[in-house]
Amino acid sequence: MPLTRQQIAMLMQLVAETTSDELDCSGCLDHLAEFAETHLAGQPLSDALEEVRTHLKNCHCCEHEFQSFLEALKGMSDDSQ
Ligand SMILES: [Zn+2]
């Protein structure tokens, strides 16, 4: 059964919504500093930061960025003590 134009439009919208739910790499990196600070402070994660955490689990590239960031933050706090 061929799809109608309207059904295709609905499917496209569904896909668009699904993709916008998932954080992309640049969106993840935008929140990386906040995420790292919250993580180090042991504070609860906001919805936006939960998305960052999910992305980091699935993206080695951003995970690597995050680890570097954590090291940098830890290094800064070591210096201040
Ligand atoms: Zn990523």
pLDDT in tens, 24-35: 999 999 999 999
> Ligand 1 center to residue 38 CA distance, Å?
19
The whole-number pLDDT of residue 22 equals 76
Domains of the chain: total? 1
Task: Give the residue carrying structure tokens 């496209």.
Answer: 12
pLDDT at 12: 82
Question: 4 C-alpha vs ligand 1 centroid, how far in Å?
Answer: 35
Asked whether residue 14 is assigned to any structural domain, the reply reads no
Local structure of residue 22 (DSSP, 8 states):
S
What are residue 41's phi and psi, to 5 degrees? -80, -10
Tell me the two tokens of residue 80.
């201040």
* Domain interval for residue 30: 24-80
Structural domain contains residue 60: yes
pLDDT at 3: 85
How many Å apart are CA 71 and CA 26, to the nearest integer? Answer: 20
Q: At what angle do helices 60-80 and 25-41 cross, to 10 degrees?
A: 40
Q: Which residues of the chain have pLDDT under 70?
A: 16-21, 78-81
On whether residue 6 sits in a domain, the answer given is: no
Question: What confidence score (pLDDT) does residue 50 get?
Answer: 94
Q: How far apart are the CA of 75 and the centre of ligand 1, in A? A: 24
Note whether residue 2 is domain-resident.
no
pTM for this predicted structure: 0.66
